[in-house]
Structure 1
Amino acid sequence: MHPEKTSLWPATLDLRDPARRGLDWLKATDTEQLARTPDLSWWHGWGYGDVTGRMVEAFVLARQILGETEISPEEKRTRRFLDSLFDAPDGLSWRPESPYRRRAAHMFDQSSVLFGLVTWFMESEDRKVVGRLDRLINGLHGIAEWHGDWCFYPLEVYTPKGWTEDYDEFRDGRKIVKADPCHEGGRQIMPLVRYYELTGYDRALHLAEGLAEFVIHHSGVFKEDGGYIEHKSRVACHVHSRLGTAAGIIRLGRISGRADWLEWAKRVFDWSLSNVASSFGWVSERADSIVGGCETCCITDMLELAINLAENGHPGYWDIAERMIRNHLLESQCPDTGGFSGHSMPNDFCWIRPASGQPDHSVAGCCSPAGIRALWLAWDRIVTRTDDAVSVHFPMNRISPWAEMISELPHQGKVRVFIHDAPNLFVRIPDWVSSDAVRLAVNGKGWAVGLEDRYVKITDLAEGDEVVVTYPVRRERVTESVMGLPFEVTWRGNTVVGIEPTGDHEPLYRRSALDTEVVPLREMEEVHALDEKTMW
């Protein structure tokens, strides 16, 4: 007999809530207007290909989470602006001539544009987007400096005169500086690989492999242990570009059959987790200092690396990923605007500007769409399907075409799964739960529990079946050093419910409502699940 379902669900983590707030931020942000507004110097450069490309991607991913297919006027506006930045002859995305700087094609921008276009294509399968991508990749492949099987971009910026340091982009006498191997090149690897997977376009793979060979074997950025504290470029010790590069290389290693590249990326992740990050998902903007705070971009990169490692032979990394999602990713979102912080501290949304000594609580144009990408990565991996096997990796609420996941965590260790189309179900058990403490029932009848790589397996399930997995929830207080600063962190399951010392300006982790055994309820809104598409 099948149990009756109810519209009342636990009022626990539902990633549609932060995704909806993030979509509000996207709709309120007009990069074309911001890039042309006096006194907004940051936007005069990064507001073009970088933020606009990220936003094109984030609009699609937010709608995927929310089950929305309609493209809003604001999303169309963002796509039009991105499209206006291309140069037909060379295929590159250019920052146009403006009162603030001269026309230039920044190599970092090209990576964000690639992410935006590839995601746009994955959803729409628009052949015009394919043409744009092919021309962009051909342009990048053509201007890269090749040495056998490896390549790099010599300068940060490609100019109308080609590669030349003698170009006064800022109209202040400064010359163009040398490119950073990761910031200006390595971050392109991930979207290049994904485009190759989708289309088989060999030039995308060739460019990705050339950039990867340079980063790993010739750039001098990374040490043997995966560390990257060095001072060879303008953006030395920049964590986002290093982690983004590693995330691309692990995907490249997987499709190329290069186990050595996967292990290289694992060393980079492990070093980062030990040296520039916390167990709850805070990740420093810089590898050599905590002063700049945490970029949400870095959280996204760490999450993507953890997920890829978990999917490629290291299942223990699912817990690391879950702790990032439940904690600093969510805490980094501004509840009022939906944007994500670019400089949060482990216990405070604000950071202290070194020049003025004043607190700054602003969100970042790059980090806000990056935060939405992280939400999508988490939402997509709550439940996955391979052939007739459905796996629940994150115990979070979600309705999918295969099953409905209903989680009472962190209040109670109880996960219910209603089956739609999941003949064989695998449910991951957190690493702090002993195997003999797990209980399993199917349609109210107890089942024997056996753990394999931290998953319980239930077979021969039919539509309408209910699987219930229960276990005790840990609650413990742990002292943790984050880049030399000590914090007392209170855990309930994989959720941080308190941190000391508390922040001085906009304290984070004010979560007493989560530190209770009482499970709050909410009315579950009707969901129209989109057809599952393999995106990122």
Structure 2
Amino acid sequence: MYEKFDPINSAKLVHHYITNMCDPAYDNLPYWLLLPNKKPAEAAHCRVDDAELVGSWYEGLTSAMCMLGTTDGDDVKQSLRRHLMKSWGKHGLRFCEKYPWTHTVHASFHEMGYILPAMNLITEEYPDDEEAEKRTSELVRGMRSLVIERKVCTFWSGDYDEDEPIYEFPNDVYLKDGGFDLTRHTGRGEQAIRNAVSLQGLVRRYELKGDEVALDLARGLANYVLDTSKYFNYKMEFFGHVHSAMWFACGIVKLGRLTDEKRYIEKGKAIYDYVRSLSSDFGWVPEYAQWHPVEEEHCETCCIRDMIVCADELIKCGYKEYWNDMNLFARNQLIENQVRYSGYVECDNSRPDSDGITYHDIDKRMIGGFTGGSEPNSISLTRFRSIAGCCVGTAPVALKTVWDDAITDDDGILTVNIPCDKETDEIKMESFIPNEGRIRLTAKKSCAAGFRIYDWMRDYTVYLNGKEINKTSAQLNKDDVLELKFDISTVEKKETVRGIEFTVCWRGCDVVDLTPKGAHVRLYQRDLSKPKYYPTPDDVDYTGAANYGPTQQKK
């Protein structure tokens, strides 16, 4: 027997994390920084909790609650909503509260990429919230007022008017007291791409509200990044932060789809294809492209989210081949990147929470979090981002995307795209993968239903009420049963990931084992007939480095 893909259980786990890894003393303010390898383990506040996480966790918690069909956790959700409605300032930007751990109060345009989607969601969920609508509108217009608009290209051979909007922000830091100070920067580099991650939120704002200013800003930022910035080469390859580049790709594909401008879709597809070439078949996506030696690279769960969301957008544009990526990435590395065991954590519940640090029950509260740095075969606990607050907010968005897409209406046929256990008003889907090559649909009412066929469904046959049929869909009456059966014998494939050759054991679309095995928290221990290996506290060393930058860390 093997573990099955269970997106609902993953939603329950991340719901648990978000609703427990927050601070009641500060109206459920999230903790970004979690140090499970420190002895004793702790979680500590930092500026990003209020600057970014209140947005991403609002979106993540809402996604989990929608999947679960529950109102449990609404108290935390409303706390996050209250935080989001504070700290607004000049030019409509959202800053952060001046907490003891805040240091300089500022806004960054990368962080607006987390705030704007949350505000869009609030205006969608609570259409009578006039303040939320006002803040969202002012944020869009404030960002538009701060860009440099490139109108004329003064080339060596003459002056040429730009015929399309080209917008860039002067800096990646905007001080609450002082505005743009060009002697300051975030130090992250790549300002062109990191300042443009709000693109997806801008396009969503246009989709929801018909906001032409949002559309204009989206176009201008997209044009700058795609051309003037020279961030991407002619093949749309790049050097840098995968999460930012793929988040941008999600935005430009959506921009192209809504405006019927194919050039944007094609550019976004090319970015996706480049990152896919750096990733594994089972969804391990590098955090950076060509910044580290490949053997030092890790997978940030945010990047898997971006690949899944971008695949969803490309599918909507007619590229059906991306269904396979969405399926394999979600049920393998996305799920493996979630923390489900914490026996290696040392807690000291006698220590009181103080100075923005919490110690109590970290081992229990951390269950359901997502890693910011997995290797293909393990979550390395020597890395301070073994659990990352940003990934906790983005992963549920990916889960909900997959859950919503598991069964879709494809020209009047309810089509199974992502095999799992799920019920709709019309049908009940049961997946027996990876234990059996079988997916069963039971009609709850009269409907047409069928299956999307993948290459890994070897020698498949479709049955209607036990009788073989020669097509992949059928018209069903109530209680009719439509089954797809295929060969699911274990297949071993060699794949080089992170500079290491792995033997990947596939059963259908699920990886059930991966060798060589990893250190610390081993992944892909899915064979239930074998005892699982877990690290102990003695296996884990704390090396500090909680504030290391991305290029300073090797492990």
Compute the TM-score of the two structures, normalised by the length of structure 1.
Answer: 0.83
Q: Offset of 1:53 from its aligned partner? A: 0.4
1:302 is aligned to 2:307: yes
Q: Offset of 1:136 from its aligned partner? A: 1.2
* Corresponding residue number in structure 1 for 2:171: 155
> Residue type of the partner of 2:245?
R
Q: Offset of 1:486 from its aligned partner? A: 1.6
3-state DSSP of counterpart to 2:521 = coil
The alpha-carbon distance between structure 1 residues 11 and 37, as it changes in their structure 2 partners (threshold 3 A), is: closer
Task: Describe the superposition over 1:310-363 as per-residue Cα deviations: whole angstroms up to 9, x where unpaired.
Answer: 33222222111111111110010001411000011111111544xxxxxx5731
Q: Offset of 1:387 from its aligned partner? A: 6.5
1:26 is aligned to 2:18: yes
* Corresponding residue number in structure 2 for 1:260: 263
User: Is the CA contact (8 Å cut-off) linking 1:415 and 1:469 kept in structure 2?
Assistant: yes
* Corresponding residue number in structure 2 for 1:194: 204
3-state DSSP of counterpart to 1:470 = strand
Equivalent of 1:348, from 356, 378, 381? 378
Q: Number of residue pairs matched?
A: 475
The alpha-carbon distance between structure 1 residues 474 and 266, as it changes in their structure 2 partners (threshold 3 A), is: farther
Q: Offset of 1:119 from its aligned partner? A: 2.3
* Corresponding residue number in structure 2 for 1:12: 4
User: Is the CA contact (8 Å cut-off) linking 2:96 and 2:106 kept in structure 1?
Assistant: yes
The alpha-carbon distance between structure 1 residues 431 and 514, as it changes in their structure 2 partners (threshold 3 A), is: farther
Q: Offset of 1:505 from its aligned partner? A: 1.5
Q: Offset of 1:227 from its aligned partner? A: 1.1
Q: For the residues of structure 2 that align with 1:394 and 1:176, how far apart are their CA atoms? A: 40
* Corresponding residue number in structure 1 for 2:193: 182
User: Is the CA contact (8 Å cut-off) linking 1:296 and 1:341 kept in structure 2?
Assistant: yes
Q: Offset of 1:12 from its aligned partner? A: 3.2
Task: Describe the superposition over 1:174-221 as per-residue Cα deviations: whole angstroms up to 9, x where unpaired.
Answer: 788876112122x11111111211111111111111111111111111
Q: For the residues of structure 1 that align with 2:440 and 2:92, how far apart are their CA atoms? A: 50
- Aligned positions of 1:354-503 closer than 5 A: 360=384, 362-385=386-409, 388-420=412-444, 423-434=447-458, 437-449=459-471, 456-458=472-474, 460-503=475-518
Deviates more, 1:36-45 or 1:89-98: 36-45
Q: Offset of 1:248 from its aligned partner? A: 0.9
Query: Could you list the runs of 5+ residues in structure 2 that have no partner in the other structure?
Result: 36-41, 152-164, 342-366, 531-555
> Residue type of the partner of 2:169?
Y
Q: Offset of 1:70 from its aligned partner? A: 5.4
User: Is the CA contact (8 Å cut-off) linking 2:32 and 2:389 kept in structure 1?
Assistant: no
3-state DSSP of counterpart to 2:326 = helix
Q: Offset of 1:432 from its aligned partner? A: 2.2
> Residue type of the partner of 1:317?
Y
Q: Which runs of 4+ in 1 moved over 4 A?
A: 31-43, 174-179
* Corresponding residue number in structure 1 for 2:232: 222
User: Is the CA contact (8 Å cut-off) linking 2:3 and 2:434 kept in structure 1?
Assistant: no
1:239 is aligned to 2:242: yes
Equivalent of 1:112, from 107, 111, 114? 114
1:63 is aligned to 2:59: no
> Residue type of the partner of 1:251?
K
* Corresponding residue number in structure 1 for 2:142: 139
Task: Describe the superposition over 1:84-137 as per-residue Cα deviations: whole angstroms up to 9, x where unpaired.
Answer: 1222x5321103344441221111111101121222333333433322211111
Q: For the residues of structure 2 that align with 1:371 and 1:391, how far apart are their CA atoms? A: 24
Q: Offset of 1:513 from its aligned partner? A: 2.4
The alpha-carbon distance between structure 1 residues 175 and 445, as it changes in their structure 2 partners (threshold 3 A), is: closer
* Corresponding residue number in structure 2 for 1:90: 91
User: Is the CA contact (8 Å cut-off) linking 2:173 and 2:186 kept in structure 1?
Assistant: no
Q: For the residues of structure 2 that align with 1:34 and 1:114, how far apart are their CA atoms? A: 18
The alpha-carbon distance between structure 1 residues 417 and 120, as it changes in their structure 2 partners (threshold 3 A), is: farther
Equivalent of 1:315, from 316, 320, 326? 320
Q: For the residues of structure 1 that align with 2:33 and 2:251, how far apart are their CA atoms? A: 34
Query: Could you list the runs of 5+ residues in structure 1 that have no partner in the other structure?
Result: 1-9, 168-173, 230-236, 354-359, 450-455, 516-536
User: Is the CA contact (8 Å cut-off) linking 2:415 and 2:450 kept in structure 1?
Assistant: yes
* Corresponding residue number in structure 2 for 1:356: none
Give identity over the alignment, percent.
28
Compute the TM-score of the two structures, normalised by the length of structure 2.
Answer: 0.80
3-state DSSP of counterpart to 1:478 = strand
Q: Offset of 1:489 from its aligned partner? A: 1.0
The alpha-carbon distance between structure 1 residues 284 and 444, as it changes in their structure 2 partners (threshold 3 A), is: same
The alpha-carbon distance between structure 1 residues 43 and 299, as it changes in their structure 2 partners (threshold 3 A), is: farther
User: Is the CA contact (8 Å cut-off) linking 2:379 and 2:521 kept in structure 1?
Assistant: yes
Task: Describe the superposition over 1:134-160 as per-residue Cα deviations: whole angstroms up to 9, x where unpaired.
Answer: 111111111122224111112111123
- Aligned positions of 1:204-215 closer than 5 A: 204-215=214-225
> Residue type of the partner of 2:370?
F
Deviates more, 1:69-78 or 1:338-347: 69-78
User: Is the CA contact (8 Å cut-off) linking 1:156 and 1:177 kept in structure 2?
Assistant: no
Equivalent of 1:123, from 100, 122, 125? 125
RMSD: 2.6
The alpha-carbon distance between structure 1 residues 253 and 43, as it changes in their structure 2 partners (threshold 3 A), is: farther
The alpha-carbon distance between structure 1 residues 425 and 514, as it changes in their structure 2 partners (threshold 3 A), is: farther
Task: Describe the superposition over 1:354-403 as per-residue Cα deviations: whole angstroms up to 9, x where unpaired.
Answer: xxxxxx57310101111111111111110123563322111111112232
User: Is the CA contact (8 Å cut-off) linking 1:49 and 1:82 kept in structure 2?
Assistant: no
- Aligned positions of 1:269-348 closer than 5 A: 269-275=272-278, 277-288=279-290, 289=292, 290=294, 291-336=296-341, 337-348=367-378
Q: For the residues of structure 2 that align with 1:387 and 1:476, how far apart are their CA atoms? A: 34
Q: For the residues of structure 2 that align with 1:112 and 1:352, how far apart are their CA atoms? A: 28
